[in-house]
């Protein structure tokens, strides 16, 4: 599983370049086995698959997490990851709008406010660094 593990680390770095590596280091201290499954399986085996294009893959994750709405931190992270994969703010919001039919407004509103938080943080970051991240 060594190969899957290093592939997983790369995927995590892609999704969360700022704090992904530190998150894994932290996880290893709590449970090295859980960390191995998380990195090697969830990211090395599953998230690294290329059947769906990267943007769609991230929107799928948002559609899953909006529905279970468990842990705002994870949903927020995947909303950020969707932006990093090149999804526009309108596309991420559209996943939430489509979800209303299946999960109702309550869970959808929680997700929508996370999109707002992520966008505002990025706007602030953009003003600071003028890097022009692709979030409308």
Cβ neighbourhood burial of 27 (10 Å; 0-12, 13-18, 19+): middle
Q: Which of 12, 61, 79, 135 binds its own copies (CB under 8 A)?
A: 61
Of 106 and 129, which has the nearer Cβ to its own copies? 106
Q: Does 57 bind its own copies (CB under 8 A)?
A: yes
Q: Which is nearer to its own copies, 9 or 63 (CB)?
A: 63
Binding mask 76-115 for its own copies (x = CB under 8 A): --------------xx-xxxxxxxxxxxxxxxxxx-xx-x
Q: For 59-122, give the secondary structure using H, E and C.
A: HHHHHHHHHHCCCHHHHHHHHHHHHHCCCCHHHHHHHHHHHHHHHHHHHHHHHHHHHHHHHHHH
* Phi (first) and psi of residue 29, to 5 degrees: -70, -35
Whether 38 contacts 66, CB under 8 Å: no
Binding mask 22-51 for its own copies (x = CB under 8 A): ----xx-xxx-xx--xx--xx--xxx-x-x
Contact 96, 104 (CB under 8 A): no
64 counts as binding its own copies under rule CB under 8 A: yes
As given in the structure block, the two tokens for residue 105 are 């407004």
By rule CB under 8 A, what count of residues binds its own copies? 58
Binding residues vs its own copies (CB under 8 A)? 1, 4, 26-27, 29-31, 33-34, 37-38, 41-42, 45-47, 49, 51-52, 56-57, 59-61, 63-71, 74, 90-91, 93-110, 112-113, 115-116
């Amino acid at each position: 599983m060594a190969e899957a593990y290093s592939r997983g680390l790369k995927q995590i770095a892609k999704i969360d370049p700022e704090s992904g590596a530190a998150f894994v280091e932290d996880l290893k201290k709590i449970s090295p086995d859980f960390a191995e499954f998380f990195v090697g399986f969830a990211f090395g085996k599953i998230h690294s698959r290329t059947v769906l294009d990267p943007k769609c893959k991230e929107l799928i994750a948002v559609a899953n997490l909006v529905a279970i709405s468990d842990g705002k931190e994870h949903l927020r992270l995947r909303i950020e990851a969707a932006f990093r994969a090149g999804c526009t703010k309108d596309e991420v919001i559209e996943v939430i709008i489509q979800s209303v039919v299946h999960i109702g407004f309550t869970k959808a509103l929680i997700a929508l406010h996370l999109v707002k938080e992520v966008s505002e943080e990025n706007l602030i970051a953009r003003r600071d660094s003028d890097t022009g991240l692709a979030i409308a």
